[in-house]
Structure 1
Amino acid sequence: MADKKRVSPLMFLPPVIFLGLAALFFIGVGREDRDALPSMLIGKPAPALAVEPLYGEIFDEGVLRGGAVTLVNFWASWCGPCRDEHPLLEALAAEGVAIYGINYKDKPANALRFLDQLGNPYAGIAADPAGRTAIEWGVYGVPETFVLDGQGRVVLRHPGPLTAAVIETSLRPAIERAAAAE
């Protein structure tokens, strides 16, 4: 008589575990919000500004709470994605969107050269040489853009560069929500 080998149900356990983990991985990779970084500022007043003039007069919190929807864009001349998004900021400014720029940890001469080369889409601009304001605003890196309603409350925080798709799917709807809240 030949010995029949018994098949243990435990031998199927490793492949089942592997398939389960693989499915969880693919579900996680497919999530659209995987790059989203949470912001505790949504719905709250924008933090105070601890900024310096880059050139000309500096803008202050009063401008950001002046009754109109505004964008605050943290940027730097050394930031490649900032250069990529700059034409889109210029287009928004040409449409009449008020954008305030905060130059982050940059040399003033480099920041001014950046604006001379690419244009200045900002209604007001300030420098954050130590990054203190960026910390208060919860900025992870540049570029980052915030939409504020007329009372200076944060409606949207977008980490990373703006793209045409981001403007249409996130930024414009946030601007409309902010305008409706006035």
Structure 2
Amino acid sequence: MNKKRLFLFVPLAIFIVLAVLFWRGLSLDPTEMPSALLNKPVPVFELPVLPAPENPAGLSVANQDVFKGKVSLLNVWATWCVTCRQEHEFLNRLKAQGVPIYGINYKDNTEDAQQWLAELHNPYVFSVIDLDGRLGLNLGVFGAPETYVIDKGGVIRYKHIGDVNARVWQETIKPIFDSLK
């Protein structure tokens, strides 16, 4: 008889466990994804630069010296990314304020990307073409957009998943960016 009564509490115990897990899940921030590369150098790469008026066709770049000597942002973007379109105007404003932004055109059509930058303006010092996503994989990219804060030594100091907007810039990224200058 005692075993039968004990079985009556099994559904209650399962409910309590599930409720605790659900409550814990609601308190997590989905934009805070740990990065294995935090406080490590940007992975080594040599990729073609997306042709733009300020970057002639056929130019290729390696990252050994790109990020040295200045604090900068590294932004992963693509024309197929709806959120990237939303953040693009703000990135142009940051460029106008003198913030150096480098782009990674992630798994995208090169012609579409060139047209995008011609129409929406180019906030990037340059943008490399990561057609096969290898650099994105090495960076631990989950999807676009993602933005990294790179220090003067080429080391990743912060990773932001999602769009960079005025609130994110002022509350999160700008304080980190300014502290590294």
Contact 2:77 2:103 in 1 (8 A): yes
Aligned-partner Cα distance in 2 for 1:165–1:22: 32
* Structure in which a larger fraction of residues adopt helix: 1
How high is the TM-score relative to the length of structure 2?
Answer: 0.84
Aligned-partner Cα distance in 2 for 1:77–1:165: 23
Contact 2:31 2:162 in 1 (8 A): no
Task: State the partner residue of 1:29.
Answer: 26
Contact 1:59 1:124 in 2 (8 A): no
1:122 Cα deviation from its structure 2 partner: 0.6
1:36 Cα deviation from its structure 2 partner: 2.0
Task: State the partner residue of 2:47.
Answer: 51
CA shift digits 1:73-128 (9 cap, x unpaired)? 11111111110110111111111100011111222210011011111001122211
Question: Could you tell me the percent identity over the aligned residues?
Answer: 38
Task: State the partner residue of 2:170.
Answer: 168
Aligned length: 171
Contact 2:46 2:60 in 1 (8 A): no
Task: State the partner residue of 2:161.
Answer: 159
Aligned-partner Cα distance in 2 for 1:42–1:177: 16
List alignment gaps of at least 5 residues for structure 1.
1-7
Amino acid at match of 1:50: E
Contact 1:58 1:125 in 2 (8 A): no
**Which range is displaced more, 93-102 or 122-131?**
122-131
Q: Which of 124, 127, 135 is 2:126 aligned to?
A: 124
- The structure whose Rg is larger is 1
List alignment gaps of at least 5 residues for structure 2.
none
CA RMSD of aligned residues (A): 2.0
How high is the TM-score relative to the length of structure 1?
Answer: 0.84
Amino acid at match of 1:63: V
